[in-house]
Amino acid sequence: SNFKKLFLSLQVYLFVCSQVLLQVEIYEIEGNIFRLKIDEASPLRARYKVPDVLIKEPTTKRLFISHKEAGILVLSSVNEDYKLQVTSNPFQVELQSKGETVMSMNSNGLLYFEHLQPPPSDRYKDLGLWQEKFGNFLDIKAHGPTSVGMDFSLHGYDHVYGIPQHTETLLLKNTSDGDAYRLYNLDIFGHKIHEKIGIYGSVPLLLAHKPNRTSGIFWLNSSETLVDISTKAVAEHTPSRSAAETAKQRAVPLTDVRWMSESGIIDVFLLMGPTAFDTFKQFAQLTGTQALPPLFSLGYHQCRWNYEDEQDVKAVDAGFDAHDIPYDVIWLDIEHTDGKRYFTWDKQKFQNPRKMQEHLRKKKRKLVVIVDPHIKVDPSYTLYAQAKEKGYFVKDRNGQDFEGISWPGPSCYPDFTNPEVRKWYADQFAFKTYKASTNILFVWNDMNEPSVFKGAELTMQKDAVHYNNWEHREVHNLYGFYQQMATAEGLIRRSSGKERPFVLTRSFFAGSQKYGAVWTGDNTADWSYLKISIPMLLTINMAGISFCGADVGGFIGDPEPELLVRWYQAGAYQPFFRGHSNMESKRREPWLFGEKNTQIIRRAIRERYVLLPYLYTLFYRAHTAAEPVMRSLWIEFPEKMETFDVENEYMLGKQVSYSLGFDLNIFEVVWKPFCPGFVFLQIPVFQRGGTVIPLKTTAGKSTEWMIDISYELHVALDTEACAIGELYIDDGHSFQYLHKKQFLYRKFTFCKNILSSSCIDESGQYHTTCVVERVIILGFGKHPTSVTASPKDGKKTEVVFTYDTKTSVLTLENIALSVDADWEICIS
């Protein structure tokens, strides 16, 4: 091997055989990130490198050689906190932090890299190399086998998480005795639980946690990927240990993670934390943060495959009002179109869709319609004809438009990897093009793995050909990512860049958080699916996508009333909140299960709406600071090992804990707090001591009805009788918060019996007439004698209060202090 020092990186050259040289590049990136790239030094043709996922080319930092000897090179960061020891034979890289080995690469010698080769004279005879059979399908590898892989050892770790999407436990399992975790986006109707097969989305990010550190591995590869995990106890590994010290070694955990991808290069980012929140920021620094959603999309969504016609839509809409249940959005599935032609309307069932939307607009509600990627083969269908003429469809290996079967029958698939196609697709959402669409219409991208009926594994063949002659095998996991990107851009462009989009996608990849929301797909109306939805959503949140949810009630089948009620209670405290059902399922609008169950569901949904100020603030934090909205307990309690595998309880932000437990034999639900530091609010929700939660005083018919409803603050005191919280406010729909700094970001602090409101970000300015009307202080130790309110530069006034000696709850009423002003409330 030949070592060559560069200004910003190290290049190492390796032989994978007697003739092929690999180039290894190692970079330090700002923010405690390291990057390792391995590619052929002189490939026969360029290998695929994933574009568009990284928000920019990362800024590198200077590494310097701190030690060099035969076959070993030690690189140090500028501040010398990190060292990389590179060994040439065998090739290994060891990453150390302040003398502690955190991670090592290729320590098990599992690096492999199938180099590009010229085709053999009769390549079709060797089915294992240049072609493979899957059932009746033949996959011809035009450039031969090109798989890559590498192993990583995580020292001191035995808790690893991430790599969504799987119907599995929060804590990733050893795969030594079974299947590897698979990352390959597939349409699996009625997916089973506790399986490692890939389903709708893939984010190749793995997190490892131990009490004093969180680290991450981001494997940037969009081809089919397998991840093997093995955890064991080994002798403690410390560099440069003396013989005497070696004799005293203790057993520590070690987790080996092996990544294997079908194609591409090795391009991996090592996220060094050291805290969980540091790793979230590091991943967001690479792939972007969660888009700030429009406020309406945090309300409740009512969906079914399918609401039949305009009269059905109006009846369901009226039903919510008649039963005093808030909701924001009604959804239309594929049957609303003219023969499954997207961007059209069924001429009989939806004769006047604009009038229907105007009816919803007057009710201050929105409409979401489905727009799948497949396009019906029909020369009279404008969308198909345009794409056909322009050559915008994915091709088969023979250069013809790839044709598969989906909902419309024979269909073609836009090549979203082509930026020109994405621009054309975005243009389809313009109001003049998408006839009878209005600015209250938003979009649902389904079936975009892509789903191909009667295809191999119900997806596109790997030897289909995309833009720049890349095979589908290279880009498969990016297909839905690109469709959502194009759709979101179309919704932004139709408003001349003024309005935030809402796009839900079923298929996703790293970076999808920039474009909207995801959901867990076709779940089943069964208690086990409610239970597994929590670790699935927690895992997706860890991977940077905070805006996620599971279909309330289960998409497939008919939930018993108790299950439906409990699912509404769970969904009300999850980021994306949608009830959805299959066309074979019985109707299940919230009022169809008897008055008692209607009351419980109504209460759960109304609790969601009252909580929206807090939830919207959490999304602002996700958008600006990459903090997940829905959090595993270990993220908030990183040193408490008893939390490391908890998956039936979680946090909304730092302040609210949700707890769920079943006895699956008798279907009883038992609610319990995580720890005594939480104050009970309502089943099954707890507020953390030391926090202030902003709420609305009551729910409205939809989010838009609630703009002028006053606020109340719930103050839960800690052991020091203190608390802190935040509130973010903007117009809820535009980009003015970004372009014009039109927002409020306030902080509420309770300390020494004074509750104060102050500004966090002075650059933001936004006027609201809303006031803080009520304050409820939980855990206040004694009956006060007086309470006074003092607006900044205003007159001190007496505040009406009540105190419950049994519960130690102090309630302050009729305060009427401006949300956008500084003030104090003094209790004596």
User: Which one from 151, 168, 449, 471 is the annotated catalytic residue?
Assistant: 449
Please say whether the beta carbons of 486 and 419 come within 8 A: no
Q: What angle do CA 586, 589, 592 make, to 5 degrees?
A: 80
Please say whether the beta carbons of 27 and 34 come within 8 A: yes
595 is catalytic: no
Distance from C-alpha of 686 to C-alpha of 699, rounded to nearest angstrom: 20
Closest-CA residue to 485 (of 437, 426, 444): 426
Distance from C-alpha of 569 to C-alpha of 507, rounded to nearest angstrom: 26
- What are the residues whose beta carbons fall under 8 Å from the beta carbon of 822, sequence distance 6 or more? 756, 757, 758, 759, 791, 792
Q: Alpha helices of 650-746 — where are they, by DSSP H?
A: 736-739
User: Which one from 522, 636, 704, 773 is the annotated catalytic residue?
Assistant: 522
The residue written with tokens 């789903």 in the block is: 451
Which residue spans within 17-172 are E strands per DSSP? 21-29, 33-40, 60-61, 64-69, 72-76, 82-88, 91-97, 100-105, 112-113, 131-134, 137-140, 148-155, 159-162
3-state DSSP assignment of residue 71: coil
Distance from C-alpha of 73 to C-alpha of 66, rounded to nearest angstrom: 8
Tell me which amino acid residue 680 is: F
Closest-CA residue to 675 (of 713, 613, 719): 719
Burial 250-279 (b: 16+ CB within 10 A, else e): eeeebbbbbbbbbbbbbbbbbbbbbebbbb
Per DSSP, the residues of 187-252 read --TTPPSSB-S--S----EEEEEETTEEEEEEE---S-EEEEEEEEEEE---TT--HHHHHT--EE
Q: What are 294's two structure tokens? A: 């429009």
Distance from C-alpha of 587 to C-alpha of 559, rounded to nearest angstrom: 11
Closest-CA residue to 116 (of 474, 397, 400, 402): 474
Closest-CA residue to 219 (of 290, 146, 143, 152): 152
Please say whether the beta carbons of 30 and 58 come within 8 A: yes
Q: Alpha helices of 664-757 — where are they, by DSSP H?
A: 736-739
Which residue spans within 674-786 are E strands per DSSP? 678-682, 685-688, 691-696, 711-716, 723-729, 744-751, 754-759, 771-778
Residues 54, 60, 66, 69, CA torsion sign: positive
522 is catalytic: yes
- What are the residues whose beta carbons fall under 8 Å from the beta carbon of 676, sequence distance 6 or more? none
Q: What are 46's two structure tokens? A: 């360029």
Number of residues that this document lists for the chain: 828
Q: Alpha helices of 472-594 — where are they, by DSSP H?
A: 472-475, 479-494, 527-542, 561-571
446 is catalytic: yes
Q: What are 493's two structure tokens? A: 């462009």
- What are the residues whose beta carbons fall under 8 Å from the beta carbon of 642, sequence distance 6 or more? none
User: Which one from 446, 489, 636, 726 is the annotated catalytic residue?
Assistant: 446
Closest-CA residue to 38 (of 101, 90, 144, 115): 115
Query: What are residue 153's phi and psi, to 5 degrees?
Result: -110, 125
Distance from C-alpha of 573 to C-alpha of 618, rounded to nearest angstrom: 12
Active-site positions read 446, 449, 522
